[in-house]
């Protein structure tokens, strides 16, 4: 299985948008976190194997998860998207950094925002509140096996990408294949953008007139046409 350093190398020059398009091109289901899950600061990026943990009102579940962590993992916290409590703060993030964690993604709220920015470990969450948890619910047996983020359940068989566009999950077994497809899409889009700056419209580049004729004649979709002519703008 791909290791953390190779995963970070593969995705260093790729965005979540590139990877999302690659998933569609490869026929793999794209799993994006809800749009509310955002980085604490612009330019933050994460790429790593999912280290899942479900929160029940105490940080002990995070400390237990970190005993299982490998350097480069990303702690993915499931707090059910709750808006009445923060479940991650400065001490948890400091401990995560000391454990070699590459970042933290929280389906829920954080606190200690100023301290988190100073610590510098990338953190993604749905927002901030000064309120900590006052509940203590029973911990489920699968608390460290899987985390739910919005509609999606993720495990250690997945990896996570995050940037200014949000957070994306994908199967770790396909990481290299997804990165290769994403890099091809990125390079095509860069070539198209460069030609547009030099005066060649996108319509000319993708032979849009030919597409309209093919759509009328054969019912060709724009995505089918783009793949035929080697263009990229959507998948």
Residue numbers in the known binding site for Mg(2+) are 112
Give the separation between CA 73 and CA 51, rounded to whole angstroms.
Answer: 6
Give the separation between CA 111 and CA 40, rounded to whole angstroms.
Answer: 11
Binding residues for substrate, by number, are 89-92, 111
Give the separation between CA 188 and CA 123, rounded to whole angstroms.
Answer: 31
Binding residues, by number, are 89-92, 111-112
Give the separation between CA 158 and CA 113, rounded to whole angstroms.
Answer: 28
Give the separation between CA 196 and CA 199, rounded to whole angstroms.
Answer: 5
Q: Cβ neighbours of residue 217 under 8 Å, at least 6 residues apart?
A: none
Q: What count of other Cβ atoms lies within 10 Å of the Cβ of residue 170?
A: 27
Does residue 129 sit in helix, strand or coil?
coil
Instruction: Give the phi and the psi of residue 75 in degrees, each rounded to 5.
Output: -75, 115
In the block, tokens 């791909």 appear at: 2
Beta bridge partners of 163: 166
Please provide the DSSP assignment of 9-76 as one string. Answer: HHHTT--HHHHHHHHHHHTPPPEEPPTT-EESSTT--EEEEEEEEE-SSSTHHHHHHHHT--TT-EEE
């Amino acid at each position: 299985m791909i290791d953390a350093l190779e995963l970070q190398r593969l995705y260093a020059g790729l965005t979540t948008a590139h990877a999302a398009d690659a998933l569609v091109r490869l026929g793999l289901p794209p799993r994006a976190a809800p749009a509310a899950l955002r980085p604490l600061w612009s330019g933050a990026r994460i790429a790593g194997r999912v280290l899942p943990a479900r929160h029940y009102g105490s940080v002990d579940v995070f400390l237990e998860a970190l005993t299982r962590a490998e350097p480069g993992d990303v702690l993915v916290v499931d707090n059910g998207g709750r808006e009445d409590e923060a479940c991650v703060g400065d001490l948890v993030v400091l401990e995560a950094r000391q454990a070699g964690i590459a970042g933290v993604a929280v389906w829920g709220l954080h606190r200690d925002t100023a301290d988190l920015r100073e610590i510098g470990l990338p953190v993604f969450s749905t927002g901030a509140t000064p309120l900590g948890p006052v509940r203590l619910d029973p911990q489920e047996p699968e608390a460290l096996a899987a985390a739910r983020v919005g509609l999606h359940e993720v495990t250690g068989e997945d990896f996570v990408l995050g940037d200014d566009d949000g957070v994306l999950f994908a199967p770790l077994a396909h990481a290299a294949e997804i990165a290769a497809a994403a890099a091809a899409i990125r390079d095509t889009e860069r070539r198209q953008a460069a030609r547009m700056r030099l005066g060649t419209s996108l319509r000319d580049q993708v032979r849009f007139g030919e597409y309209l004729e093919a759509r009328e004649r054969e019912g060709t979709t724009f995505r089918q046409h783009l793949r035929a002519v080697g263009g990229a703008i959507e998948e």
